[in-house]
Structure 1
Amino acid sequence: MTGLHPTGWQGRRAQCRRGVSLMPRISLGNRRPGVVVRKVRGPEPVRTIHAAVRKTSLPQPALRGLLDALREAAAQ
């Protein structure tokens, strides 16, 4: 997989025309043509996301927005 580029992993797998990757739903926003997505079933995998921040940083609007976005994405 490649760093944070949203379609990097898809491009590498698609170019090889083979491969299986387990990816969180949040990373599937910009799928490349030819990439097939299947839901994993029985039992579905789970993940836990933690955010560590300084108490003094909590009032910052950008940080609050990021934490809200993470909570929203985790609830999906």
Structure 2
Amino acid sequence: MKAMKPIFRTKQYIKYGFVKMEHEYCCCPKCRNILNAGPNYQPEFCDRCGQALDFSNTEWEEDKRLGFLKPEAV
């Protein structure tokens, strides 16, 4: 089985209840399972389907702050 590059996607989330953040995460190219991967750990295989993964030349980005939530009118 040939190693394939993971698919990178972004998702937004709320940090501390008021800071809008954007996070980049990786998925298996075969089964689309979200991988537990980051700059300190890159799995060699997908834990769901067993697809071999190739993280060479991967540049990891930190979460980006997009702004703040507007306070709700009371």
TM-score tier, shorter chain, comes to: under 0.3
| Bigger relative CO (Cα 8 Å, ≥ 6 apart) | 2
Return the TM-score normalized by structure 2: 0.26
Question: Whose helix proportion is higher, 1 or 2?
Answer: 1
Question: Whose strand proportion is higher, 1 or 2?
Answer: 2
